[in-house]
Structure 1
Amino acid sequence: MIPALQTKYVFSLAIRVGTPIVAGDHGHGIRRIIPILGGEVFGEGIQGKIFPVGADFQTIRPNGFTELEAKYAFELDDGAIVYIENIGIRFGPKELLDRIAKGETVDPALIYFRSVPRFETGAEKYRWLMENLFIGVGARHPDRVEIAVHQVL
């Protein structure tokens, strides 16, 4: 018998972001680069700081469907460095997505924002991050992105 899919919340990311850099329509949508300015990592037994390095590389389709590809790193309070590559999608009613693109606040419950974060680290204590799958549930705010990271059991 195949076991039922379950998840467990492990930590959250609060990622401060800068003003989008718009590279224009490349034929498949509008390319935007969102600089990552820093942030926090927090959860039970996990605390740390997101480095002010990296970016979220987005393609926004004409209907507002957004493909996300963020790459950045964080340092945990015990000194462990973790690299993260987070691939995801964000979608919802076009008028709400347009408001998000303009930097306005939209109720996160009205937007489907999910991702698949992958981690790399040389810290033995956190090798489990590379040995499991995770799903992120996100919310976009004018100055930050918040992601609750859940381990797939």
Structure 2
Amino acid sequence: MTEPHPFLPKLEHAFTISIALSRPYWIKPAARGDMRAAIFAAEGVIEGPRLNGRVVPMSGGDYPLTRPGGVIDFDARYLLEADDGAIIYLQNTGFRWARSPEIAEKMRRNEPVSFDEYYMRVTPRFDAPEGPHAWMSQHVFVGVAEKVPNANRIHYFVVL
């Protein structure tokens, strides 16, 4: 058995964001040959040991690019409001892809699928005000996302 790498990062669950999404608006075919969409963050809830609050309704959304081969390249930006009233900017980039064409088709039809049937990860950046939430602008995070019908649930882990 090999020892873990001495620089192996430690992760700590910080919070989970559950986001209800608007219907997608498609640009197809887009000038680049890929398909682009706009999907807005209709509302959402933030729950966790390090942050609680809500997604500011319709404060932004995701502009995913669907690449040939079915990989979805995320670019989401919207606002969070902490329970203390602080406004926090969130930018998520990441990828989603299905582990089979059948699962991809189910996801396109917005049907439920099991978490292990697809890959969906994000790398967020936060712009938080000085004060109790400043730590968010000083750490790297990793998000593991769940696709649920008409919504996403993203579990955010801070890299220690």
Bin of the TM-score, shorter chain as denominator length: over 0.9
Q: Return the TM-score normalized by structure 2.
A: 0.90
SS at match of 1:19: coil
Report deviation, 1:72.
Answer: 0.4
Report deviation, 1:135.
Answer: 0.3
> Which residue of 1 is the match for residue 46 of structure 2?
41
CA contact under 8 A between 1:16 and 1:144: conserved in structure 2? yes
**Who wins on radius of gyration, i.e. which is larger?**
2
CA distance in 1, matches of 2:66, 2:102: 14
Bigger drift between 98-107 and 74-83 goes to 98-107
Figure out how many residues of one structure are paired with residues of the other and give that number. Answer: 153
Which residue among 133, 136, 145 is the counterpart of 1:138? Answer: 145
* 2:55 counterpart of 1:50: yes
* 2:21 counterpart of 1:17: yes
> Which residue of 1 is the match for residue 121 of structure 2?
114
Aligned-residue sequence identity (percent) comes to 27
Amino acid at match of 2:34: G
Report deviation, 1:114.
Answer: 0.4
CA contact under 8 A between 2:14 and 2:50: conserved in structure 1? no
Q: Return the TM-score normalized by structure 1.
A: 0.93
CA contact under 8 A between 2:126 and 2:136: conserved in structure 1? yes
> How much is the aligned-residue C-alpha RMSD, in angstroms?
1.5
CA contact under 8 A between 2:120 and 2:146: conserved in structure 1? yes
Residues 84-120 of structure 1 deviation map (CA, whole Å, 9 limit, x = unaligned): 0000100122321222122111112211100001000
SS at match of 1:140: strand
CA contact under 8 A between 2:146 and 2:152: conserved in structure 1? yes
> Which residue of 1 is the match for residue 65 of structure 2?
59
Q: Which consecutive residues of structure 1, in runs of 5 or more, have no partner in the other structure? A: none
CA contact under 8 A between 1:47 and 1:77: conserved in structure 2? yes
SS at match of 1:64: coil
